[in-house]
Copies of this chain bind each other. A is one copy, B any other.
Amino acid sequence: MSDERSGGGEFDFIERLRRREQKRSGAVGDDSPLSTLHSSLLKGIGDDAAVIRQRAGFDTVITADLLVEGVDFELEGGGATARDVGHKALAVSLSDAAAMGARPTMCLLSVGVTRERWRTGFLEEFYRGVRPLAERYGVSVIGGDLSRTPERVVVDSVVLGEVRKGRAVLRSGARPGDQIFVTGSLGGAAAGLRVLGARAGSRLTRAEGRLVKRQLRPEPRVEWGRLLGEERLASAMIDLSDGLSSDLAHLCRESGVGASIEAESVPVDSLLKSPALEESERLSLALDGGEDFELLFTVPARRAARVPAEVGGVGATRVGEVTADASRLTLVREGRPRPLRPRGFEHFGGRRR
């Protein structure tokens, strides 16, 4: 081990991580203050598996997201930092839990790093990105794995959440007439990716810097998700990872419905005005761009007025309506309807990167 970094081998790293997490989550077990808040952790890092006791009256949601250097993020040439990767890996899975109407509670992070990155402290920095986000939402790191990779960093982020029994918001619950909403604004993350691609390493304007942040440090809509689940407002929900056009298509297929979106209502990120994009390009980034990690949800018309204007400083906008035409998506622009085709990201579809 002495030939590796001064901090010791992987077991030492895991031991330090474990101590920090134990301190954070307080005493683990039934008399922990945490266990009155949510499902309790009986055993975290440091055994063959973690042990969890689900709070009575709740279901568990679980989701996994795999991020690969060179495909899902770039570490070289002014791309993401290790902290960015830590933040984003957790954020994308928190976003999935939020899209179920659940409160995220715990996570497992499996990370593969090269020897070089191990030596230069990638993992410590990675966890410096994970921790603030985990703390903000009361999420404990309870496990995961650590492996060596020959060339690239890979991260698999698994998030557990809890939702009141039977209240998980699926993609399949949308019905004709339901109103369609999205949280926040769209297109910023995709525009940020363009900025990174075009201007890596060069000095960014303030607006460009903020777009890049939308790409590298997406903020999962955890409070919105929980509220929509708790209050039984949303009939269906999905998070915007692939892009509105694709994710809406997923939701409609699962629900056996169609949708009509009003172009003028789509909340295009105001930052897109600054890099002086044409309006149609801005709209296209907002509809097809992906990785905004906003929530798209449907609400029965009679409850639509109960959707709050904002939650935790983040607004929601009505963008259209669910229709009975199974899987037909329409974009209405200046009064004229045209088909809205899914143009989002597929790893093996060859559309991006």
Contacts and interface: CB of A to CB of B under 8 A. Distances in A.
B62 A238 contact: no
A195 to B, nearest CB: 23
Contacts of A115: 348
A153 to B, nearest CB: 11
A351 to B, nearest CB: 9
Nearest to A99: B48
A53 B61 CA distance: 9
- By size class, the interface of chain A is 35 or more
Nearest to A93: B49
Contacts of A99: 48-49
Interface in A39-68: 42-43, 46-54, 56, 59-68
10 contacts: A46-B254, A48-B100, A51-B61, A60-B60, A62-B160, A64-B143, A64-B144, A64-B156, A65-B145, A68-B150
Contacts of A63: 48-50, 143
Contacts of A146: 66, 347
Interface string A123-156: 0000000000000000000111111111110101
Of A3, A70, A142, A346, most B-chain CB atoms within 10 Å: A346
